[in-house]
Amino acid sequence: MTRTDQKRTFKLTPYPEALKKLLETFNKGPRDCEVVPLEDSMDRVLAEDVIADMEIPQTDIAMVDGYAVKSKDVAEASITHPVMLNVVGKLYPWSKPSDAKIEDGQAIYVTCGAPIPNKADAVIMVENTILHDDKIEIRKPVRKGENIARSGEDIKRGTLVLKKGAILRPQDVGILAGLGIRKVKVFRRPKVAVIATGNELIELSREDPTRIVDNYALTISGLISKIGGEPVRLGIAPDDLEGTKKKICEALRKADIVVTIGGCSMGERDFVPDAVNSIGDPGVLVHGIKVKPGKVTGFGMIKGKPVVMLPGLFASTMAGFYLILVPLIGLYMGVEKEPLLPTVTAKMNHNLDPDEKNRYRFLPVRVKHLEGGLYAETVSGGPNSLSKFLNSNGFILVPPKKGLRKNEKVKVTLFSKEEFSRFYD
């Protein structure tokens, strides 16, 4: 028997150092932009500031259905001394402002959103008028400017509306449309190829090979799309070096970032690091990070593209995903200010003993809303526990040798923006 069981050892890199190396290595990578029709821009990241180039409203407009009047004409109106005005026209939102004007004693019917005719300075609501053929009777005064929205009152030309790096919400898209904007420059969504490797998958459906599903890849792909990347699922790599290399080469052709799941531990069937090293320089840059779980996480570079190696046990896969892949995708998305994942401050619901070893700990927690605010509690389960992730909605990253006291405040990073809904279960 050859020593195939122990062919590889690796030097563990402290997590902050690994992260720094990742971000520095890929910081100069392309942050491609594209121009998309506004209708397709939801959830995309703005690649430039957006400045209003029109006023909102564009002209003075009526805020209600009613009559545009000169306020001085009705200043003395009362029930005992109603004022009668001649109605000399109608204006609609699509009428041109220059189409109409009023003289003393006149009024023009305006629908909500219609331009205010020249010389009118107030709009009296339909409900407060009585119509007599082509005259209206008005029984109370109206203030100058009442029921009129002034040109530029809401947004002035030249206003910085949205900053570069903003993730466009539905309401932002509607507002940009309202500003006459039809296309926006956004960062291209990074394509992330996801390759599963064999070992841990087969284990899950040993009895029936037709039932094999790359379930970790399914989860990781879903989480990638939640944060704004475009997952490209490439299925399961065969359990040999050549097959693994071929899959990674395919991934490099099809995507901006390559992610492998499993196959990067010290076992004799862990072909991923060798594959990465043999395809192109510089190959593996970091393999082994001082973090628990997720120790065998690594990353490398081939043809300028990052290859992230995630471990194959679920808790480790998740740790590698959040600690290495998410920051990398953020870099490629051009998101500087807005976090991809929400964080909340919660109080620990129990003590957490310090770790004896010099490593960060990635601990899934369940955040719950109790009397007195948000509380976080760690969720038990080994590195291959699935249930741990059923019962948690975020994680804390605990520095080496640090413990936490009950009621101590911690920053919890939620697994995705969706997780808030489970605070109140």
Q: Which of residues 135-194 bind a copy of itself (CB under 8 A)?
A: 149, 153-155, 159, 161-162, 167, 169-180, 182
Helix or strand run (H / E) with residue 204:
helix 199-204
Q: Does residue 11 interact with a copy of itself by CB under 8 A?
A: no
145, 202, 401, 406: which one binds a copy of itself (CB under 8 A): 202
Closest distance between a copy of itself and the C-beta of residue 281, in Å? 29
**First-to-last C-alpha distance (Å) of the chain:** 54
The Cβ of residue 391 has, within 10 Å, a number of other Cβ atoms equal to: 16
12, 19, 42, 241: which one binds a copy of itself (CB under 8 A): 42
Strands of 249-322, DSSP E: 257-261, 282-287, 289-292, 298-302, 305-310
23, 35, 51, 390: which one binds a copy of itself (CB under 8 A): 390
User: Which residue, 257 or 261, has its beta carbon nearer to a copy of itself?
Assistant: 261
- Only one of the segments 18-26, 77-85, 198-206, 280-288 lies at the binding site for a copy of itself (rule: CB under 8 A); that segment is 198-206
- The contact mask relative to a copy of itself for 90-109 (x = CB under 8 A, - = no) is --xxx-x------------x
The residue count for binding a copy of itself (CB under 8 A) is: 110
Q: Which two tokens stand for residue 25?
A: 């290595």
Q: Which residues are CB-contacts of 20 (< 8 A; sequence separation ≥ 6)?
A: none
Q: Which two tokens stand for residue 121?
A: 């300075």
In b/e form, how buried is each residue of 218-249, taking b as 16+ CB within 10 angstroms?
ebbbebbebbbbbbbbbebbebeeebbbebbb
| Of residues 230-259, those binding a copy of itself (CB under 8 A) | none
**Distance in angstroms (rounded) separating the CA atoms of residues 412 and 209:** 39
In b/e form, how buried is each residue of 9-22, taking b as 16+ CB within 10 angstroms?
ebebbebeebbeeb
- Only one of the segments 126-134, 249-257, 347-355, 395-403 lies at the binding site for a copy of itself (rule: CB under 8 A); that segment is 126-134
Q: Does residue 375 interact with a copy of itself by CB under 8 A?
A: no
Q: Does residue 199 interact with a copy of itself by CB under 8 A?
A: yes
15, 299, 322, 389: which one binds a copy of itself (CB under 8 A): 389
